[in-house]
Each structure stands twice: as C-alpha cells, then as structure tokens.
Structure 1
Amino acid sequence: MKAIVHDTYGPPEVLRLEEVARPVAGRGEVLVKIHAASVDPGVWHLTTGRPYLLRAAGFGLRAPKARVRGTDAAGRVEAVGPDVTRFRPGDEVYGTCKGSFAEYACAKEDSLAPKPANLDFEQASAVPVSACTALQALRDGGRLKSGRRVLVIGASGGVGTFAVQLAKAFGAHVTGVCSTANTDLVRSVGADEVIDYTQEDPTDGARRYDLVVDTGGNRPLARLRRALTPRGTLVIVGGEGGGKWIGGTNRELGALLLSPFVGHRLRGLVATQRHSDLALLTELVEAGSVTPVIDRVYPLADVPAAVQHLREGHPRGKIVVRV
C-alpha cells in the first residue's frame, strides 16, 4: 500500500510517499481503508522531533519509532481483529488511527465511532483530534455551564472553530479572537462577538470572562489572567515558543504550578480521543450544532506541503488529506 513515511526527524521534506506492507488488525483493533485524513499540530512536532521532550516521551530519541505519520482518519472498516464487537467490515467510521496518511491503517476499537451521516469522509476526518480537544477543554478543563462568558483565542484555527461552536451548543456567550482576515469566518461559526487581535488586545482587562481557552498562542500567563473574572478558568491548549526542549509546555507547567496559589483555575490540557466523545460529537454534528471548517484539501502525495501550510499558512479551520 502507499503511505507517507519518514526515517529521520526534520522539516516536512523528510516525509515521502512509499510502498509499505499493509498492517494487520491485532486484538481489539480495526483495519480501516482510509478515504481521508487531516493534519494537526502533532504531525508537525512528530515530524520535526521538537520539542525534544516529545522524543523522551517515547516517540523515539534519535529517530521516529513510527514511520507512518497521521492520526485523524475517516474511512471504511476493512477487517476486524479478535475481540472487536462494535464494528464489522463495510462500516463507515471516523476517529484516530496509527499512521492515517496511508491507504490502510489500524485503530483501537475505542478510538473509532460511526461516521456522522451528514458528513463526507473529508469533512469527517477533520473532526476527531481537534473537536475532541475543544470538547475536553470546555467541558472537562473549563467545566463550562450555560450562560457563562467564554473567550476563545485562536478562534479561526482547527481547535478554535470547534471550540466556538461547542461553547455555543453548551449555551455560552462566546467571544472569538482572530486576525482581520478571519473575523467573518469566526462570526459564521457562531461567535457572539469577535476581537481582531491586530486592532485590540483581548487580554487588556477591559472585558473579563468566566473561561478563557487559548488554542495555541504564546501570551504569558500574567496577560491571560487579566481577561479572567476573579474565579475564572484558563485552559491552555498547546502553544508555541518555549524553546526546542520543552516547547509550548512551559506555559502549561507554569499554570500547573501557579494555580494552587491564586483565585483562578489555571489548566493545561492533554486531550484524548475516545468512542464516547466521538459519539457525542456525532450527535452534535448530525443535529447541525457543529460543522467542520475545511481550509483546503491535499492529495496523499502532497502531505509535506500540507504540513508546511499548517505551520506557516495560518489555516482557517482544518487541512485535509484525500487518500
């Protein structure tokens, strides 16, 4: 089968299209024929091997342990391994796989769900990682309740567009932060208010929010806290900067250390993708409350360009790979 592989860490150019052996579903696994996959920041970090903390976490110190990149996926079940009870061959599914930039990939049964009936495969592949991250940031990290005021920083990005829609679905008043070019997009996905960060500082303290979700910026904790009500919550979702060793985790570590000593709840987020959350997202998508935003679609051979665009192009929503 064809797959995007790499044997060394480096820029997107180290990724290449190659013929590899088709995987075999093990116990509790599902073999999926991939129709579409999507690109998330984790792909960039696993390709470059930065921050170095990621290598120490088990992804390979000198070279990547897993040759095939890609996590988000949508496709049809080709085969199931022993003990799989939820799916059978022919089922249309979406979720996360091991190496989804390929014609076939294996997934744990619990990391898949039936594909939303009103989405095609490309749209469905945009959902799992980013929408689960947004859901867990709001519901688990932010303990969001109806009527609360929410600020989403990075509202036009992959996680941000889902965070705006999910916060609205939960009954919140949502303010999205983005650049001038994306204000109409953020309004179109449901934001009650939009702040253009090139014209106004959303963390100047003029307006305060019960929950601030920062989906990948680099604003320091002190500035982010200025946007919180006295008992407000900050959830940091990823981030850039922090150097080659720990990357954007420096702010999450700072939040963890500071939170016990201040009135604010300061949280980092390590998101997971599981069947129960995917099932909830399916309900919201099929009800029309959540719709994935697609920036552009690349063929499988152009994954290096897709990863580069993610890093440099400030995509509006998600970047998808057609397999």
Structure 2
Amino acid sequence: MKAIVQNRYGGAEALSCADVARPLVGDHEVVVQVVAAGVDRGAVHFMTGEPYLMRLGTGLRTPKVRVPGVSFAGRVEAVGSQVTRFAVGDEVYGAARGTYAEYVAAAERKVASKPADLSFEEAAVLPYAAFAALQAVRDHGRVQPGEQVLVVGASGAVGSIAVQVAKADGAEVTGVCGPRDQQLATAIGADHVIDYSRGDFTDGNQRFDVIIDVFGRTPIRRLRRALAPRGRLVITGGEGDRWIGGTQRQLGAMLLSPFVGQTLRAFVAKENAETLQAVNDLVTAGRLRPVLGRSYPLVEAADAVGALEAGAGSGRIVLTV
C-alpha cells in the first residue's frame, strides 16, 4: 500500500511516499481503508519527537512508528476475532498511529461510527481535538450552565471544539485568539472575543469560572488573575522548550492547586470511543462541527505538514487518500 514514511525525526522535510506492507488485523482491532486523515499538532509532535521527553516512548534516535498520523476516517476493511461493534463496510473514524496511509489498523476502543452528517474529511480532523476538548470542558472543567468560560486559543483545533462544547453545555464563552481569527471564533459560537495582540485578558478586570488554556505559554500566576476565587483552570497541553515542552507549567499548576482556593488542573487526554460518541451526539444535535481548511492528496503530505507548521490559513488541514 502507499504510505507516507519517515526514517528520522523531523517535520515536512523528513517525509516521503513509499510502498509498505498493509497492516494485519489484531483480535481487538479493525483495519480501515483510509479516506481522509487529519493533519494536526499531535501528529507533528510524533514526527518531530519534540519535546524530547516524549522520545522515551516513541524511540530515542528514530521513530518506532515509521508512518505518521494520528486521526483518520474511512471504511472498515477487516475486523478482528474479538471485535463486536463493527462490520466490514462500516464508515468509522478514530485514532491510531500510522494514519497517513491507504490502510490503518486501529483498536476497537478508539473507533466510533462516523456521523452521517459529517463528510470523511470533517470526521478525520476531529479525534485528536475532540479527546482534548471534551475532556477539558466536561471531565476536568466541569462546566455548568450559566458559567463564564474563557478559552485561550479559541480558533485552534482543540480550542474551536472547546468553544462549541462549552456553548452546548450552556456556558457564556469568551474566546482568546489572534486578530486574523476573530470572525472565526464568533462564527463557532463565542459570545465574546479578545484579541490577545491588543488586550491583556489576565488584567483582572474580568473573572471567569472556568479557563481552558490550550497549548499556551501564559504563566499560571497571570491566568489565576483572570480566574474566579473558586474557579477552575484546565491546562490542555502546552508549548515550551524542546526538552520538556510545557510540562513544567502543568506540574507547577497541579502542585500549587492544593494550597489555593482555585482548582488548577492539567491532564493527558484519553483516546476512547466514549468521547467520540459524545462528539456524535453533539454533531447530530447541530451543536458541533469542525472548521475545515485546505485539503491535500496523500502524496502531498509534506506540503500539508509544512502549511501547518507555517500557520497558513484558518481551519483544519486534511489529507485525502
């Protein structure tokens, strides 16, 4: 089968197209003929092996998994002997390693039926973002109707889903993003939008019940100024140096939390079908939809990754197979 491969860590420059063996199906797996695959930050972190701390699990000198990609949508080609939820021909989406290929093997517990209301391209960009966003808003932020919620990074893959989920759960949502994405944040449902280049959302003039900070760099002490005295801060990922990324900020928040009135949390998203089913419910109810950007054919994966790294355009980038 055709696949995008990498034999070393790196970004777009490390990718090439090659013929590789089609994956075999495990007892608890499905093999999916990929129709579309999401191009997202999660995939790029695995490609580059940054922060370096993650290489303890992905391979110290070279990637253990040669085919990049973490999100997909497609049709079931084969099912394992212990699989009960899917049959050959079902349209599905989910998470797996090695999705930039014509076929991918995925654990049944990380796959869900594709919503009929979404195209394969729309479904393919959802899993990575949905796991982080839904779990941040519902499991860790515990957002309630009527609460004031601030989403820092509201126009990104995770932030745009978090805005829609918080709105669906009855919150009044303020989004923080750059000047280019103000209209996008409003279009996906944000009640208020703050341009971080023109104002300081941590000046303390407004306090929020919940802050969802998506892949940010803002120090905890500043975020706490914008948080209500009994508010909840949820850190979803983080950016930082090449060695440990934003880990120090996340650990600092959790260590401080027991000593202050506010709840400060960080978490690692769980890849599971239950979260995807919650996404399906929101999509069916008309409360959630991803914002698509440019589509690239599989053989142009390097160009797609390069566009993501350059921050080109709005909307999620997708590969079509």
Alignment partner of 2:118: what SS? Answer: coil
Corresponding position of 1:272: 270
Corresponding position of 1:203: 202
Choose from 305, 308, 321 the match for 1:307. 305
In 1, Cα distance between equivalents of 2:242 and 2:156: 23
Answer yes or no: is 1:20 the counterpart of 2:20.
yes
Corresponding position of 1:157: 156
1:221-243 CA-to-partner distances (Å, cap 9, x unmatched) read 111111100011111111211x2
User: Which stretches of structure 1, 4 residues or longer, exceed 6 Å deviation after superposition?
Assistant: none
1:168-215 CA-to-partner distances (Å, cap 9, x unmatched) read 000000000111111111111111111111111111111110010111
Alignment partner of 1:65: what SS? Answer: coil
Alignment partner of 1:122: what SS? Answer: helix
In 1, Cα distance between equivalents of 2:115 and 2:313: 24
In 2, Cα distance between equivalents of 1:85 and 1:125: 23
Answer yes or no: is 1:255 the counterpart of 2:218.
no
When the two chains are superposed, the root-mean-square deviation of aligned CA atoms in Å is 1.1
Distance change >3 Å, CA 202–CA 315, structure 1 → 2: farther
Shift of 1:316: 2.5
Is 1:157–1:315's contact at 8 Å kept on the other side of the alignment? Answer: no
Is 1:25–1:106's contact at 8 Å kept on the other side of the alignment? Answer: yes
In 1, Cα distance between equivalents of 2:306 and 2:132: 22
Identical aligned pairs, as a percentage? Answer: 55
In 2, Cα distance between equivalents of 1:195 and 1:61: 41
The within-5 A match list for 1:67-78 is 67-78=66-77
In 2, Cα distance between equivalents of 1:306 and 1:148: 38
Scaled by the length of structure 2, what TM-score is found?
0.97
Alignment partner of 1:245: what SS? Answer: coil
AA of the residue aligned to 1:85: T
Shift of 1:260: 1.2
Is 2:130–2:275's contact at 8 Å kept on the other side of the alignment? Answer: no
Distance change >3 Å, CA 314–CA 230, structure 1 → 2: farther
Corresponding position of 1:141: 140
Length, aligned pairs only: 321
Shift of 1:126: 1.2
Is 1:138–1:144's contact at 8 Å kept on the other side of the alignment? Answer: yes
AA of the residue aligned to 1:249: T
In 1, Cα distance between equivalents of 2:263 and 2:315: 28
In 2, Cα distance between equivalents of 1:283 and 1:176: 23
In 2, Cα distance between equivalents of 1:310 and 1:72: 15
Is 2:25–2:80's contact at 8 Å kept on the other side of the alignment? Answer: yes
Alignment partner of 2:243: what SS? Answer: helix
Shift of 1:294: 0.9
Is 2:42–2:128's contact at 8 Å kept on the other side of the alignment? Answer: no
Answer yes or no: is 1:7 the counterpart of 2:11.
no
Corresponding position of 2:32: 32
Distance change >3 Å, CA 314–CA 210, structure 1 → 2: farther
Shift of 1:317: 3.3
In 2, Cα distance between equivalents of 1:132 and 1:287: 19
